[in-house]
Amino acid sequence: MANKLNDEILNAALIGFEKQKADLSARIAELKQMLGGGAKEAAAKAAAPARKRRRLSAAGRKAISDAAKRRWELKRAAAEKPQRAAKKA
């Protein structure tokens, strides 16, 4: 019962805050239009530059490559063991 009451209170608070947020956004848009920069600024923010891609050093690429090769070696060795045992029998 107490948990349900808490959930209802939290949901009501969330709805109230979402409404306040929408009202404030509308007021901010009105003020920006009054200042004359409404649509231009919104378009500029929407076209924000993409994040720069991180570069991997040659040493980092080599470490990843070596680790992958080791994993494949172990996998191939594990796959060959049962076949060798079957050939001996």
Query: How do residues 12-69 score in pLDDT, each as one tens digit?
Result: 999 999 999 999 999 999 888 888 865 555 556 666 677 888 899 999 999 999 999 9
Residues 6+ apart with CB under 8 A from 41: 32
pTM: 0.36
Same domain, 65 and 89: yes
| Boundaries of domain holding 14 | 1-41
Same domain, 25 and 60: no
Q: Are 2 and 8 contacting, i.e. CB atoms less than 8 angstroms apart?
A: no
Q: What is the DSSP string of 12-74?
A: HHHHHHHHHHHHHHHHHHHHHHHHT-HHHHHHHHHTPPPPPPPPPPHHHHHHHHHHHHHHHHH
How far apart CA 73 and CA 62 sit, in angstroms, is 16
Q: Looking at the domain assignment, is residue 51 inside a domain?
A: no
Between residues 4 and 9, the one the model is more confident about: 9
